[in-house]
Structure 1
Amino acid sequence: MRAHEAGALHGDIGNRGPAWLRPPVDVNELVPQLWPRNVARGAGGALTVAGLDVRDLAAEFGTPVYVLDEDDLRTRSREFRDAFPDADVYYAGKAFLCRAVVRMIAEEGLFLDVCTGGELATALSAGMEPARIGFHGNNKSVAELTRAVDAGVGRIIVDSFAEIDRLTAIARERGVRPRVLVRVTVGVEAHTHEFIATAHEDQKFGFSLAGGAAAAAAFKILDEDVLELRGLHSHIGSQIFDASGFEVSARRVLALQAQIRDARGVELPELDLGGGFGIAYTTQDDPAAPHELAKRLRKIVDGECAAENLAVPHLSIEPGRAIVGPAVFTLYEVGTVKDVDGIRTYVSVDGGMSDNIRTALYDASYSATVANRASAAEPMLARVVGKHCESGDIVVKDEFLPADVQPGDLVAVPGTGAYCRSMASNYNHVPRPPVVAVRDGRARLIVRRETEDDLLALDVG
């Protein structure tokens, strides 16, 4: 949904949509905050990215296809790095990870956070320096922990007492001293979807602060003196715009820092405030720039440290979505356009919930535009849907598209860099789309399209 979202409209539009939707002045408009920075309209109104026409990309790579504006991703990486010059910026690989992206973020000076053995394998195979890798996860196996220790990852964020015991046993056997942070569940109710809020008490991540488990975990590590406890970690959720949650989290985590100092005489040198910084999926979203985030977080930490008489710890943050999310759009081809008794027009594309599950899973909102041409037709309130056998197979719930949208048109959906390819599936035995990076007028395939042979290769029956 583009600029037409601003304001309210009295009454439904033809009884076919939410009352707050306002038709756009121009259905061809591209709202800058929603798109990669090198996307524009070129000849005939077709979208271009870094000088390449999306019609040519579709012809070469097929659709659906995830299109990554490489310079946009690199620029966002640098903006976080420059905004936090005295902190470690860990790219959260769960948002989207492949070897090419690992190399991009490493070249821009970022660290990398992984949360499974597969993500760790991807990072190592791409040449990421192990000391610049952090390892997350609420249920790391012995094999995963062993691999991380043997590789020499820079830090492991421990998530349970069982994991502390596993890692302690591995460290003793290997004769090494892994660096760890304790993940603290601080009891903050983040203003986001239930499934991506991670700091309230009733969920699977971390050690409870209120119940005393976080302090007990820190004391256990310090007393056993096998692992090197570097600090505390807090992550309150994803797609967050309000800094108040980070303020509460920092206050509570630093109070625990002070408790540990008072009880054991140890002042932990590091603090990780996590990530979850929101991006603009629609014009209703208003994300803060990295330098604004840095100013707010530094003020919060400095103030709380002064209140607790603590030295300011070395900070870490973990942006993922905020770096890769806006740098990617998904390009689809329209297959059918169906008006359902004047209730709604359904525009069906050749992908759907197998390449973007977020709308179905989180009730996420997206924007869309016809990408292969400009149109002078009147705006039409439409729903962009996929090809899967599910009524919930929705890509964009409500969007104004030109009334002359037709089979064969290309539709582009921005903001799909985070959690779309990462969470993609083979539902209905649909092969997953490729990822194409575009830079300086050149396109290169960084993740190839799956084929039916790929699907059948795992079917040994």
Structure 2
Amino acid sequence: MRAHEAGALHGDIGSRGPAWLRTPVDVNALVPPLWPRTVTRAADGALAVGGLGVREIAAEFGTPVYVLDEDDLRSRCRDFRAAFPDADVYYAGKAFLCRAVVRMIAEEGLFLDVCTGGELATALSAGMPAERIGFHGNNKSVAELTRALDAGVGRIVLDSFTEIDRLTALARERGVRPGVLIRVTVGVEAHTHEFIATAHEDQKFGFSLAGGAAAAAAFKVIDEGVLDLRGLHSHIGSQIFDASGFEVSARRVLALQAQIRDARGVELPELDLGGGFGIAYTTQDDPATPQELAKRLRKIVDGECAAERLAVPRLSIEPGRAIVGPAVFTLYEVGTVKNVDGIRTYVSVDGGMSDNIRTALYDASYSATLASRASTAEPLLARVVGKHCESGDIVVKDEFLPADVQAGDLVAVPGTGAYCRSMASNYNHVPRPAVVAVRAGRARLIVRRETEEDLLALDVG
């Protein structure tokens, strides 16, 4: 979608309608915000990442394959740390988590947000210090909470009265006082897809602010005195470009913090504003830099604290997509090219909705480029589709590729680091792809490709 018109959304933490929109279409050009920072088109016309050509990556590891630019990911971690020096930056592990990524973000000084026992197990097995882990989730089991307490997880985000009772009982049994946050549903309609908007009233997360449940939850934790209430938490959704939602959320959460102070004499020392910062998937997306995010969020928090006569709490944020999303692209091999009666050209690749469900699930938009060579052919508006038995198996809805794209070519789709491998499936019994990290001309396997033997090993019938 590199040639489409800019959209209408604008905001001070990013917008749609950037300055780099290219006209006419150049099918060989790489739009920098869409790609990992070390990706180039080499002299032979093929893409290279970290100094290593994609043809070499495909030959060694096969396709489809997720290619992670390690220098890019680490640099984005450092960008957030530099922009928020007095805040805790939690990498949202649900975007993509494996032990290698845990080690990378830990080495770069970030904290880690997990939301299931499996994510917690991955974090601990990779050596992430438990005190730098935050544990989310709307239905944490007794076993999961027990493991978190026994490991010494730094923050547990409370999501229901049942969970308050459950964690209180476990903490009392163990004689520990875990740090907790109350997740507040602030009634903000984020400008994003309904399935990834998480702060409006009619959804499963958190305690309602408008209905009084959030205040009641905070009073309950304070009055029982078993859990250490450190602050409040709000997360309004994902792939957000408009700062107005964060402003409304901060105002409402800090008003609750003032209410807690006035009612119980307790001024909570922390505030977690969540994540959801948007990234560029196509040329319609113009995300803010971490520095711009920090400036805007600090202004919001400082202003609201002054209005409520509150000390400014220690801020936490939770970027996941904004760190790993742009650091990864998926490399596919073209299998067939089919023109349907002059209506549309379908470029079929060897993956699809099993390695990227977001197009089908969220109507997400992606870009693509011919990766194994350059081309002087005319641009062709094509649809990149997968190999699954579904008409909705679409990877890229509309993209200009060269008219000579053919079977055996490699096609790369950028921006696939977040929620692609983590939401991947075995639909049609297709094994999930490998993840390869590239740095300084060398590639290493960090998540191996599944095999048919892996699939059959679980089939005990």
Q: TM-score, normalised by structure 1?
A: 0.96
- For the 8 Å contact 2:360–2:394, the answer to whether it is kept is yes
Identity of aligned residues (%): 90
- For the 8 Å contact 2:254–2:304, the answer to whether it is kept is yes
- For the 8 Å contact 1:6–1:22, the answer to whether it is kept is no
1:219 and 1:380, CA in 2 relative to 1: closer, same or farther beyond 3 A? same
1:173 and 1:73, CA in 2 relative to 1: closer, same or farther beyond 3 A? same
1:340 and 1:143, CA in 2 relative to 1: closer, same or farther beyond 3 A? same
- 327-336 vs 21-30, which moves further: 21-30
SS in 2 for 1:5: coil
Q: Alpha-carbon deviation of 1:2? A: 2.2
- For the 8 Å contact 1:221–1:229, the answer to whether it is kept is yes
Measure, in 1, the Cα distance between the counterparts of 2:215 and 2:382: 52
Q: Alpha-carbon deviation of 1:20? A: 16
- For the 8 Å contact 1:16–1:344, the answer to whether it is kept is no
SS in 2 for 1:3: coil
1:12 and 1:386, CA in 2 relative to 1: closer, same or farther beyond 3 A? farther
- For the 8 Å contact 1:137–1:159, the answer to whether it is kept is yes
1:218 and 1:36, CA in 2 relative to 1: closer, same or farther beyond 3 A? same
Q: Which residue of structure 2 aligns with residue 168 of structure 1? A: 168
1:450 and 1:40, CA in 2 relative to 1: closer, same or farther beyond 3 A? same
Give per-residue Cα distances to partners, 1:419-442, cap 9 Å, x unaligned: 000000000000000000000000
Give per-residue Cα distances to partners, 1:151-196, cap 9 Å, x unaligned: 0000100000000011001001111111100000000010000000
1:154 and 1:22, CA in 2 relative to 1: closer, same or farther beyond 3 A? closer
Q: Give the 4+ runs in structure 1 shifted more than 2 A.
A: 1-25
Q: Alpha-carbon deviation of 1:18? A: 19
1:14 and 1:402, CA in 2 relative to 1: closer, same or farther beyond 3 A? farther
Q: Alpha-carbon deviation of 1:26? A: 1.4
1:8 and 1:182, CA in 2 relative to 1: closer, same or farther beyond 3 A? closer
- For the 8 Å contact 1:375–1:402, the answer to whether it is kept is yes
Give per-residue Cα distances to partners, 1:79-136, cap 9 Å, x unaligned: 0001000000000000000000000000000000000000000000000000000000
- Structure 2: gaps of 5 or more residues: none
1:43 and 1:272, CA in 2 relative to 1: closer, same or farther beyond 3 A? same
SS in 1 for 2:226: coil
1:104 and 1:16, CA in 2 relative to 1: closer, same or farther beyond 3 A? closer
- Structure 1: gaps of 5 or more residues: none
Give per-residue Cα distances to partners, 1:41-78, cap 9 Å, x unaligned: 01321000011010010000000000000000000000
Measure, in 1, the Cα distance between the counterparts of 2:271 and 2:102: 24
- For the 8 Å contact 2:13–2:296, the answer to whether it is kept is no
Give per-residue Cα distances to partners, 1:190-214, cap 9 Å, x unaligned: 0000000000000000000000000
SS in 1 for 2:139: coil
Measure, in 2, the Cα distance between the counterparts of 1:323 and 1:262: 38
SS in 2 for 1:55: helix
- For the 8 Å contact 1:272–1:317, the answer to whether it is kept is yes
Q: TM-score, normalised by structure 2?
A: 0.96
SS in 2 for 1:274: coil
Q: Which residue of structure 2 aligns with residue 59 of structure 1? A: 59
Q: Alpha-carbon deviation of 1:15? A: 29
- For the 8 Å contact 1:238–1:276, the answer to whether it is kept is yes
- For the 8 Å contact 1:23–1:400, the answer to whether it is kept is no
Measure, in 1, the Cα distance between the counterparts of 2:9 and 2:101: 42
SS in 1 for 2:254: helix
Q: Which residue of structure 2 aligns with residue 313 of structure 1? A: 313
Give per-residue Cα distances to partners, 1:321-377, cap 9 Å, x unaligned: 000000000000000100011110000000000000000000000000000000000
1:155 and 1:227, CA in 2 relative to 1: closer, same or farther beyond 3 A? same
